[in-house]
Structure 1
Amino acid sequence: MATLIRNAMTVDVEDYFQVSAFAPHISRDSWESLPCRVERNIDRILELFERQNVKATFFTLGWIAERYPAMVRRIVAGGHELASHGYGHLRASDQTEVEFRQDVSSSKAILEDIGGQQVLGYRAPSFSIGPKNLWALDTLLEAGYRYSSSIYPIQHDHYGMPDAPRFSFYPNGNDKLLEVPITTVRMFDRNFPAGGGGYFRFFPYALSRWFLQKVNRDDSSPGIFYFHPWELDPDQPRQAGVGLKTRFRHYINLHRMEHRLQALTRDFRWDRMDNIFLGQK
C-alpha cells in the first residue's frame, strides 16, 4: 500500500452523449433516442469497487437517476455516497442564478427520493464554477448542500481557476459549505492536473501514481480522483463530425482505463467524500 492516507474516489455519472464537448454535435432533444450505456458501465464499476473494497462518491445526474432508479439504489446498497451532478449536465456558468437554483434543488430532491439518503455533495458539470460565478457556491448552501467539488485549480481551455486554493477551503467568507478542489501537483510555479479524467488516460499510469503519492507524502493531504462511466467503455458509439482535439481527448486509451483503475484502487486507500471531508464516519 503506497500510503495510509485515504483518498477520495469519485465517479461523475453521465453517459457518453452528455459530455459537454459533444454538446454542439448532439442535441438534447435526441438524448431519449440514443442507446444508453451508463447502467452496464456503472455495474462494472460497482463490481470492481466491491472486489477492491473501495467506497466512493457517485456524482449523479438527475436525468440519469430518473431513468435508472434501480441503478441508483444499487450504488447506495453498495455503501457508496450519492451526490449531485446537477440535473441535465448544464454548466453552472451557462445558467442564471434562478436557473442554477432550480437545477441543483431539483436534482437533490430527485436523488434523495430515489436513493433514500441525504445528498450533501455537488459537482458542477465540467468544473464550471469559477471566478465569474462564485455566487453559485452560496446558492448550493441555500439549497442544503454541505460541500462542493466544482473547482479545478488549473489552466484549461474549457474550465479552471488556477489561482484557487489547491486543497479544501471555505469560499465566500462562510464556514458552512466546503469546496474540495480536484487534485493538482504544484511544480515549476504552476499546478499540474493530478485528479483523473482524460489526463489519467493520457499520462502513463506511473506518472499519475507518482503525482498522487507526492500529494499524500509532501502535502500530507488526500487526493480527489474522478472519472466517468463511459471512460471504461471503448465500444461506445463513435460521434461523427467532432473536432480532432475533442476526438483525441474523449477516445484516447479507453481500452486501458479499466486496467489502470484496477491498479489505482490497489495502490492507494480510498473512501467517500463525505467520510473524508465531513467526518461522517
Structure 2
Amino acid sequence: MTAPATIANALTIDVEDYFQVQAYAGAIDRADWDKIPRRVEANTDLILTALARHGTRATFFTLGWVAERHPALIRRIAAAGHELASHGYGHQLVTDLTPQQFRDDLTRAKAILEDIGGVAVAGYRAPTFSIGPRNPWAWDVLAETGHTYSSSVFPVRHDLYGAPSAPRGPYQPAACNLVEIPMTTVQWLGRNLPCAGGGYFRLLPYAAYRFGVRHLHRREGRPAIFYSHPWEFDPAQPSVPAAKWSSRFRHRVNLARMPARLDDLLADFTWDRMDRVFADVIARAAA
C-alpha cells in the first residue's frame, strides 16, 4: 500500500458568501443579496495567503454571481496557479431546476469565469451536493456544456443532502464522458462516515479528521477531498437571527478555530488541485 505521506489529496474551496448558504435560504431572500455587504473577497484572500505560505495549490469552485462582482479576486486565484472551477451561477439547488434551467445556469457561470479568469473551466460542484439519484440527467447536461468532471455527490445521510448508496470512489455516470468524484467518506461498522471537511470539520476535533484521512490512505490507498468555504474563516460575520437555531449553530460553530486548523491540515498532508489529483480518471472518462 502507498505510504500516506506520498498521496496527494484534493483541497477545494466553494467560493460563496455567508448569506448564500442553503441553511439560510429561508431567512435571507435571494432578491436582497445585492443589498448585503459582501465579505467573500476578504475571506477568500485569507485562504489564498495561507495556501501561498504553504506552497499549496487548490481548486476554487466559484459562483458566477461572486465572480461578476469580484473580478479581481478571480484573477488572483488564477494567477496564483489554483484551478478555477464552477459552483454554478446563483447557488440554486440542481434539484430545483429543470434540465434547461440547469444548462442556462452552467453556461452562464462558465462563460463568466472563463472570461474573467482567462482559463478553461472543466470542473463543477453542485450547491449543497444536489446531484444524485433524483436528477441523473444533470451529468449529461454537465458533459454537454463542456465540463469534464463533477464533485457533487456526498455518499452520506444528511438532512440537506446525501446519496448514501452512491459509489464512494470516482465513477462514470451512465454513458457520458464525465467523471463524478464523490466527497470523501470512510467506512465504519458498515456505514459511510463523512471525512471531507465542511461543518463536520469544525464540529469534531481536528484529530478525528486526521485519523479519518490516514485511515483512508492506509486501508484504500486513495486520495481524500477536503472542502471548505471562505465564510468559515470569518467569526465576525453578521448573525442571521431569522434562521433556525440549528442552522445558526451549524453555520457558526468553531469559526474562530479554522485558520489554525487549516495550517495544521496543510502541514499534515500533501494537497493539490482536483484536476491534477484525479487527472488519470478524468482523462479516462473523456477518452
Asked if the contact 2:16–2:66 (Cα under 8 Å) also holds between the matched residues in 1, the reply is yes
The aligned residue for residue 231 of structure 1 is 232
1:185 pairs with 2:147 = no
Q: What is the alpha-carbon distance in structure 2 between the residues aligned to residue 2 and residue 255 of structure 1?
A: 29
Q: How does 1:28-43 map to 2 (within 5 A)?
A: 28-43=30-45
Asked if the contact 1:101–1:143 (Cα under 8 Å) also holds between the matched residues in 2, the reply is yes
Q: What is the alpha-carbon distance in structure 2 between the residues aligned to residue 237 and residue 126 of structure 1?
A: 22
The aligned residue for residue 175 of structure 2 is 173
Calculate percent identity across the aligned residue pairs: 54
After superposition, what is the alpha-carbon deviation per residue over 1:103-136, rounded to whole angstroms, capped at 9, x for unaligned? 0111011100000000000000000001110110
For the residue of structure 1 that corresponds to 2:120, the secondary structure is coil
**Mind listing any 5+ residue stretches in structure 1 that lack a counterpart?**
none
Q: What is the alpha-carbon distance in structure 2 between the residues aligned to residue 2 and residue 134 of structure 1?
A: 34
The aligned residue for residue 150 of structure 1 is 152
The aligned residue for residue 255 of structure 1 is 256
**Mind listing any 5+ residue stretches in structure 2 that lack a counterpart?**
none
The aligned residue for residue 118 of structure 2 is 116
1:106 pairs with 2:108 = yes
After superposition, what is the alpha-carbon deviation per residue over 1:24-77, rounded to whole angstroms, capped at 9, x for unaligned? 110111111101000001111100000011100000000000000000000001
Output the TM-score relative to the length of structure 1.
0.98
After superposition, what is the alpha-carbon deviation per residue over 1:216-249, rounded to whole angstroms, capped at 9, x for unaligned? 1211000010000000000001101211211111
Q: What is the alpha-carbon distance in structure 2 between the residues aligned to residue 53 and residue 98 of structure 1?
A: 40
Q: What is the alpha-carbon distance in structure 2 between the residues aligned to residue 92 and residue 9 of structure 1?
A: 23
Q: What is the alpha-carbon distance in structure 2 between the residues aligned to residue 95 and residue 223 of structure 1?
A: 30
1:208 pairs with 2:205 = no
The aligned residue for residue 88 of structure 2 is 86
For the residue of structure 1 that corresponds to 2:226, the secondary structure is strand
Report the Cα offset of residue 163 of structure 1. 0.5
Q: What is the alpha-carbon distance in structure 2 between the residues aligned to residue 255 and residue 153 of structure 1?
A: 28
**Number of aligned residues:** 280
Asked if the contact 2:4–2:218 (Cα under 8 Å) also holds between the matched residues in 1, the reply is no
The aligned residue for residue 135 of structure 1 is 137
Letter paired with 1:135: W
Task: Give the alignment partner of residue 13 of structure 1, picking from 3, 8, 15.
Answer: 15
The aligned residue for residue 218 of structure 1 is 219
Task: Give the alignment partner of residue 68 of structure 1, picking from 62, 67, 70.
Answer: 70
Report the Cα offset of residue 173 of structure 1. 3.2
Q: What is the alpha-carbon distance in structure 1 between the residues aligned to residue 155 and residue 127 of structure 2?
A: 15
CA RMSD, Structure 1 to Structure 2 (Å): 1.3
Asked if the contact 2:194–2:200 (Cα under 8 Å) also holds between the matched residues in 1, the reply is yes
Output the TM-score relative to the length of structure 2.
0.96
Letter paired with 2:277: I
Q: Quick check: 92-101 or 239-248, which moved more?
A: 239-248
1:48 pairs with 2:50 = yes
Q: What is the alpha-carbon distance in structure 2 between the residues aligned to residue 18 and residue 2 of structure 1?
A: 36
Report the Cα offset of residue 2 of structure 1. 5.5
Letter paired with 2:205: P
For the residue of structure 2 that corresponds to 1:153, the secondary structure is coil
Letter paired with 1:275: R
After superposition, what is the alpha-carbon deviation per residue over 1:186-245, rounded to whole angstroms, capped at 9, x for unaligned? 111110000000000011000000001111121100001000000000000110121121
Q: What is the alpha-carbon distance in structure 1 between the residues aligned to residue 61 and residue 228 of structure 2?
A: 10
After superposition, what is the alpha-carbon deviation per residue over 1:128-163, rounded to whole angstroms, capped at 9, x for unaligned? 001110110110000000000000000011110001
1:246 pairs with 2:247 = yes
Asked if the contact 2:4–2:217 (Cα under 8 Å) also holds between the matched residues in 1, the reply is no
Q: What is the alpha-carbon distance in structure 1 between the residues aligned to residue 269 and residue 136 of structure 2?
A: 32
Letter paired with 1:194: C
After superposition, what is the alpha-carbon deviation per residue over 1:232-273, rounded to whole angstroms, capped at 9, x for unaligned? 000001101211211111010001111111100100000000
